[in-house]
Structure 1
Amino acid sequence: MIKIKNTLFLILCLFKFVSVYCQSIEIQGKVTASSDIDRIHIINKTANTFTITNDDGEFMISASINDTVLISAIQYKPLEVFVTPQIIQSKYISVELTDKITELDEVVVGKILTGDLLSDIENSNVKRDINFYDLGIPGYTGKLKTQSERRLHEATTGGGLVPLNPLLNWLSGRTKKLKAQIARERIDKAMKEVRSELSEMLFDIDNLEESKRIEFFYFVSDDPNFLPLSKAESDLVMLKFLQQKLEEFKTQLEKD
C-alpha cells in the first residue's frame, strides 16, 4: 500500500514538473542598437511564431523553456537567445545588436561552370524571388499571425513524450475561448472593412440617422451569412445584403 502511495506521489510530482516545464508564457523584451531599433524581426524558431519591435525596440513574444528566439535585421548581425528558466521566471529579455559590416566578395568576370549543380545555378541567369535569406535575414516566411492566433497556437501545441499543454488548455476551456475570440476578431475586421467601403453608398440609397449606423453594422455582423459574403469580395452582392439587413434593422427599431 505504501509503495502504491509513493508511486502515485511521484507520478503527480512528475506531472506537475512537466506541466511547468512545457508552459509557454508571454515574454517582454527590449532591443538596443546603434541606430534604428523599430521593426526588428523577433522569431521564436522553436514555436514558429513571429513579431517585430516597436519604435522603442520593445516587443512581446510567447516562449517556453529551451525555445530558441532569433533577433535579426538587415543592418545587424543575427542574434539567437536560448530561453532559460531564469528568462521564464523574469519574463524579460534584453539584447544588444551589433552592426553588420558588409564586405565585397571577390569579383569574377564571366560565368564559371564547376560541375556543381547548385553552384552553376547561382552563376547562371536563372532568377528567383528574393527572400529573407538573400538579404541576410533568417526569417519566418509564412503568414503573420495575430496575437490571438499566436496564443491559440501556443495553447494547442506542445512537445515531449506527453504533450500536456494542449490537453490542459482543452480541459480548462482556454482553447475554446481563444477560437471564439479569433472568430469574433475576423468578423469585426470584415465589418470595419465593409463599413469603410460601402457605408456612404448604402446610406445614400437608404438613409439612417448617424447615431444608429455603428449599431447597424454590429447588427449585420451578427448574421452568420455576413462573413462568407465578405470573403466573396463582391461589392454588389454585399450591398444588396446590407440593404436587406437595413430593412430588418429599421423594422426592429420601430418595434423597440
Structure 2
Amino acid sequence: MLKNKAIIIMFMLFSFQVAVSQSVEISGKVQSNANVENIHVINKTAQVFTITDKNGAFKINVSLYDSLMFSSIQHKLKEIVISKNEIISKIIIVNLDEQVNKLDEVVVGKVLTGNLLTDIANMEGKPPVNFFDLGIPGYTGKIATQSERRLSQAGDFKPKMLIGMVLGGASLDPIINGISGRTKMLKRRVEIETKETLMLIIKSRLSRDFFASNPLDEELRMDFFYFCADDEHFIKYCKNKTDFKILIFLRHKYKQYLNNLESGKD
C-alpha cells in the first residue's frame, strides 16, 4: 500500500515537472493609471513578443522562469520572472507604474505681478503674424523636403504632354528632365530620404524593446537598421503600421542579418 502511494506521488511530481517545463500560453492583463494599450510584452528568454489591446490584455507563450519585460513610453520599465503559479493558472496580472518626467522649475521671461497696467508695461516683443487673421490663405500640411520640391519643379512626364507641346501650351521641362534622367534621379533621392526618415523613427521608438529580446552588439545596430531599410518591402511593411507588425518585420530581417554575419565569417 505504501509502495503504491509512493509510486502515485512520484508520478504526480513527474507530471508536474513535465507540465511546468513545457511552453504554455498564458493570458495576462496590464493595470495602470495611464493608457494600457500597445504596451510591448517581450519574452526575453524565448525571444517572442506581443502587445496589449485597448483593455491591457495580452496572450504570450512562456515557460517556467522565463523573463517577461513590459515596456512603453508612458510607463516605467518592468521585468518579471514566470513562476509556477503563472504556469499552473495560465493567468498573470501586472501592475505598471506611470512614467512621470519632472522638470526643474524655471522662470521664462518677465515675472507677472498681477497688476494689469504694470504687467502690460513690462511686456516685450510683438505677437507673430497669423496669415489666417489677415485673411491670407496659408498651407498647413507637411513641409516638403528639398528633394521633394526639386521633383515637383522638374515635373513628371506623361505621354499626353506631347499633345500640349505640339499645340504650344505645355512646358518642355518635364520632357527634358524625363529624357535626361533627372526626374528618375530625383524620384530615387526622395525614395531614399523617405526610407531613411522612417528607419530613424522606427529605431528611436522600437530599438530598446527589439534588442531586449534580439541581442546585437551596439556597433552593429545602426548597420542592422540600414539593412532593414534596404529591403524592397520596407515601406510596405513598416509605413503607417502598428508596432507589432513592424516588430515582426524586424524579427524577420534580424534572422537574415545574423545569417549574413555568419556567412561573412566563413
Taking structure 1 as the reference length, what is the TM-score of the superposition? Answer: 0.46
